[in-house]
Structure 1
Amino acid sequence: MNCSLREEIAQQIELHTYPFLLGLGTVGNLLSIVVLIQMRQHSVYRYLTLMAIADTVLLYIGLLRELLLSSSFHLHIQGTLLCKLHVFFF
């Protein structure tokens, strides 16, 4: 099996598993947020809610970026603020 075939197989796996993981992670985090918002009796539940929100944000920043890169989607950054944010996050 040559290298280009392995890369093609890896790219196809990424294109099919990343959207599944993105959807599953989003649904799981949203369900956690809904349940934890109803249980705001202790401060621990607030921290867990914020952790679920941060996990969702990180999921979209990291996994969505990898999905876009593996699908050969090219994002052109225009403007100094967006360029600095892109360098900061990625």
Structure 2
Amino acid sequence: MVRSPLTPQQLAAGKRLGAYLRQARGDRKPAEVAQAASISPETLRKIETGRLATPAFTTVAALASVLKVPLEDLAQVCMPDLNLPKTG
């Protein structure tokens, strides 16, 4: 199966997601966060730098859980024009 190239919008969303997750990680070591999320440090690096613009949902959910970031916040970062209802 051949994957279609990512759109400029998807690439930009991936960069925003990566930057947000990097900020949420704060002073924690990448290896520590990656291990807690059951992903490789290289995968985390790729996500944080935007080189992996569309990570799997389970990966994003695991990172959100480890970093204590609501998934709704990540959805808003990726799609700022999406009007999501506030939960809480």
TM range (shorter): 0.3 to 0.5
Q: Larger helix proportion, structure 1 or 2?
A: 1
User: Which has the higher Rg, Structure 1 or Structure 2?
Assistant: 1
TM-score computed with the length of structure 2 as normaliser: 0.33
TM normalised by structure 1 equals 0.33
